[in-house]
Structure 1
Amino acid sequence: MGNTESAVLSVIVPTLDEASGITACLERLVGQESIDEIVVVDNGSTDGTREIVAELAALHPKIELLDEPNPGVAHARNLGFDKARGDYLGRIDADTLVAPDWGATVCEHLDANPGTMAVTGISTYHDSPIGVFLAAAIGAQERLGLIKDQPVGNVHGANMAIRRSAWQQVQEATTTRRDLHEDLDLALCLSKAKLRIDQLPRLRAQISARRRKTPPSVWWQYQVHGLRTIANQGYRVVPFHRAVITGAWLMHTAQWPIYRVWDFNRKRFSLRSGRPRVSPIGD
């Protein structure tokens, strides 16, 4: 097993009704030597997700399946963080496909930078009909030096890792409210504790674009949850924050007509393309 002479890396994967994609997600993790443990925390699936994970766990000793009855991704994440044995705690979504060197990138950076308490990476889409434009925009920002190794104030819950020691330091300050963004909340707690978060452009993952099917009116409320998260941690919401969520909402609204008729299961346009999903855990 990997990491025999260094820190142990555990990856936590919260799940809720992810039968269609959980196998691909876990297959990206089990073959990486740097990943020692994969903790799947099921949050009440009824579509066969648990059975699929249990079958994979029987084949791969790295995988452990846990159940969290309290609804919400924060509860599932917290159980995984607490039960995992890793010194480093990775965190991805159940529809995330990590790069082949994802685990090694986490371990190498945290091993070499003891002052860094958490890392977050760059994510593109694996199932979007227009995902090439996001990838191109990220590439352009990298060439301009706008995306680079640097301290940041947020983490992307679908592509991140944190030291266990940092989690233990901020755990009591985090929230489990479902109307708040758990990853932003965690980042704010880390920042308040003056614990460094590094952005790593080489920490790559592909995520699902399925949340882009969410109607703009619902998406606006989802974005407002970000402002509520900031205020809940005692920070003042300023015009810059409102400008950021307004820009994100306008971008979502412009893309929504395309995703509205995109079938994520069959990877083709269809007038019968299924219901939207706002977040990996709960709607």
Structure 2
Amino acid sequence: MSKVWLITGSSRGLGRALAEAVLASGDYLVATARNPEQLADLSKRYGHQVLTFALDVTDEAAATATVEAAVKTFGRIDVLVNNAGYGNVGSIEDTSLVDFRAQIETNLLGTIIMSKAVIALMRGQGGGHIIQFSSVGGRIGPAGRGAYSAAKFGVEGFSEVLTKEVSPFGIKVTVIEPGGFRTDFAGASTVLAEGRAEYAETVGATVRFQREYDGRQPGDPAKAAAVVIHIAGLEEPPFRLLLGSDAVRSVEKADAARIAADREWRAVSVSTDFEPGADIEPMPWEKKAG
């Protein structure tokens, strides 16, 4: 049975690759972008199989209107993909609060707004799948990406709560964590600011790496799109999924260091209980549902 997808940020990058793959597979698509003229070629090629819609994900009214248009046109939404986002590079000291707010509003609040816009619909349908595009930057905080990582770490935490709340209704949640893919994310979509000399070895190193990495990233957007379509067809999809060998390598290294640090300081951590060593009642989220 064909699915109905709603993908934010469909005009470029991984969102565009996924939009084209969804349509090529025969599914239906609501493709959104701030400027829907960038999606005109999809309408020309796929006709009534696709609905293009202007959407700023930070606008709650626009999110509601997009969901309503999707239901009016296709009758339901089976898969929401929160892909819209961007990330500039610069030191926390030199990043303006305006820039911080803009990145957090698009990457985090946009994801929250769109997710909330479909929950009641999917609950009424008896199911659905919300796919959040986070990043390796949602698991690791690289120098120079303070605003972006703050937002993506937020997406991860929000999604952990979301899946616990909506899974009883048959709604699945998957967080996609890409590494470097050959899109314009590191090019035209990103402002790279090395900033003052004091940050040359930290933020400056990230900026230089980003410039040199652009066009040499290991990730293939078409292969990523195929994986997302596969995940959307599973009865039990993963909650988290890293994409790209660079993402796997970096996160495995960071997670191992985090576990080692927790173990090193465990005695200090548990020493703060009123009765250290006593049996503690499991937290509600530690108990398996059902």
> What TM-score bracket applies, with the shorter chain setting the length?
0.3 to 0.5
Higher relative contact order (CA 8 A, sep 6+): 1
Give TM-score scaled by structure 1 length: 0.35
Quick check: which one's helix share is greater? Answer: 2
Q: Tell me which structure has the larger Cα radius of gyration.
A: 2
Quick check: which one's strand share is greater? Answer: 1
Give TM-score scaled by structure 2 length: 0.34
